[in-house]
Chain A
Amino acid sequence: SQKIEQNSEALNIQEGKTATLTCNYTNYSPAYLQWYRQDPGRGPVFLLLIRENEKEKRKERLKVTFDTTLKQSLFHITASQPADSATYLCALLNAGNNRKLIWGLGTSLAVNP
């Protein structure tokens, strides 16, 4: 069956540390994978996109990696801040689909001061 899974448990880290979140997928062939941030009661906000032929993408303190052999994407926040506390969602676009994003459940991140 097709699955997209993220760390089910909430992640608690100390301010200044690097947060690493995982997204694994099964039986999909993603054209690309995206990471979004979602705050309580709000819509997802796009952060980064990585395509199937890319290994790594960076944007300021954010880094995403994509390993199509492992069928996994890692999302890193370096020098984390309390304001980074949110739920982070991964979503993939399966090859051939009409822009229909398939979403993970999300991982809750809490950065403690």
Chain B
Amino acid sequence: EPEVTQTPSHQVTQMGQEVILRCVPISNHLYFYWYRQILGQKVEFLVSFYNNEISEKSEIFDDQFSVERPDGSNFTLKIRSTKLEDSAMYFCASIWQESTDTQYFGPGTRLTVL
């Protein structure tokens, strides 16, 4: 069964450094999402992406964040200058069309900012 994959599974970085989290959505999917989950807290929507542009973003997704689909398979989340409070699990999700309701999630990347 096709699945969303994410790399790395765990990323440790120093505060102020840039990180890029990578996702490979399911191949025929067209809509992509990033969520984050701080330990012990709710899953929070960050951004949705369709047709090579951001569809919607949350107030969390400030200028330090960016997303890109650099080729036909990868979907990346970049954090330019990480802060301690960026430490969280980051999940990528995808759906194949907007009328499809089920979002398929990747296993997540645990980001630890020291």
A113 contacts B by Cβ under 8 Å: no
Q: How far is the CA of A43 from the CA of B36 in the complex (A)?
A: 10
Determine which of B43, B55, B110 lies in contact with A98 in the assembled complex, contact meaning CB atoms within 8 Å: B55
B18 contacts A by Cβ under 8 Å: no
B67 contacts A by Cβ under 8 Å: no
Q: Mark A33-48, 1 if CB is under 8 A from B, else 0.
A: 0100000011111100
B98 contacts A by Cβ under 8 Å: yes
Q: Mark B1-24, 1 if CB is under 8 A from A, else 0.
A: 000100000000000000000000
- In this complex, which of B41, B55, B102 has the most chain A Cβ atoms within 10 angstroms of its Cβ? B102
Which secondary structure dominates chain B's binding surface? strand
Q: Considering the complex, which residues of chain A in the window 74-113 have a beta carbon less than 8 Å from any beta carbon of chain B?
A: 89, 91, 93, 97-106
- A93, B101: Cβ atoms under 8 Å? yes
Q: How far is the CA of A34 from the CA of B55 in the complex (A)?
A: 22
- B43, A89: Cβ atoms under 8 Å? yes
A32 contacts B by Cβ under 8 Å: yes
- A43, B42: Cβ atoms under 8 Å? no
Give, as a whole number of angstroms, the nearest-CB distance from B103 to chain A: 7
Q: How far is the CA of A106 from the CA of B42 in the complex (A)?
A: 8
Q: How far is the CA of A101 from the CA of B101 in the complex (A)?
A: 10
